[in-house]
Amino acid sequence: MLARISTVFECTSEQLWDKIIEPRSLQYVAAPLLRFEPLVAGELDGEWIVGKTYAVRLSALGFLPLGQHRIKIVAIDRMTNTIESQESGSLVRVWHHTIHFHPAGAGQLHYTDEIEIKAGLLTPCIWTFAHLFYRHRQRRWKKLIAIEYGQTGLRAHADHS
């Protein structure tokens, strides 16, 4: 199943790239719903690396174990403003995530998370969770951008499909 969740951010491409390229931003935007704990200490420091697979322990709400999860970064393309990962874990066989954004007006970006999900009989439940989780992530991205760049009047506009 495919989940596609979109919104509009009040920032520039450069500002979003400054944050989105850092794995530690994933921790912030996923909290408190999910937590990604690297199996190798310090592995989520620095910037995402294309071709690298990151192994993490996944937990819900910081304490409910969801097993191991692997994130392989397959593309980071600043020309097309796209990041792609191929992921899998204890609960999902396939979790392929594509982030794409493009200018939507002065100081705005149209941002989309697209996730291909294959989890057997759990697929419909996990697809529903993905919609809730990525709406949460997008709200947290807006908050992080506002904190980092001093923006206070962020629009709550969202186009979820």
Kindly report, residue by residue over 99-142, the tens digit of the pLDDT: 999 999 888 999 999 999 999 999 999 999 999 999 999 999 99
- pLDDT score, position 150: 74
β-pair partners for 86: 72, 96
- Parallel, antiparallel, or unpaired for β 2-9 and 82-89? unpaired
- pLDDT score, position 151: 60
Contacts of 127 (CB under 8 A, 6+ apart): 1, 3, 117
- pLDDT score, position 99: 98
- Mean per-residue pLDDT over the chain, rounded: 92
The Cα 84–Cα 87 span in angstroms is 10
With contact defined as beta carbons under 8 Å apart, do 23 and 48 qualify? yes
- pLDDT score, position 15: 94
Please give the C-alpha separations between residue 103 and each of 14, 17, 90, 109, in angstroms, as whole numbers: 11, 13, 36, 4
- pLDDT score, position 155: 42
- pLDDT score, position 149: 85
Question: Is residue 113 exposed (0-12), middle (13-18) or buried (19+ Cβ within 10 Å)?
Answer: buried
Q: pLDDT: is 110 or 159 the higher one? A: 110
User: Residues 57-90: pLDDT tens digits?
Assistant: 999 998 999 999 999 999 999 999 999 999 999 9
β-pair partners for 35: 59
Q: Does pTM surpass 0.85?
A: yes
- Closest alpha carbon to 82 in 104, 68, 96, 101: 101
User: Residues 21-45: pLDDT tens digits?
Assistant: 999 999 999 999 999 999 999 999 9
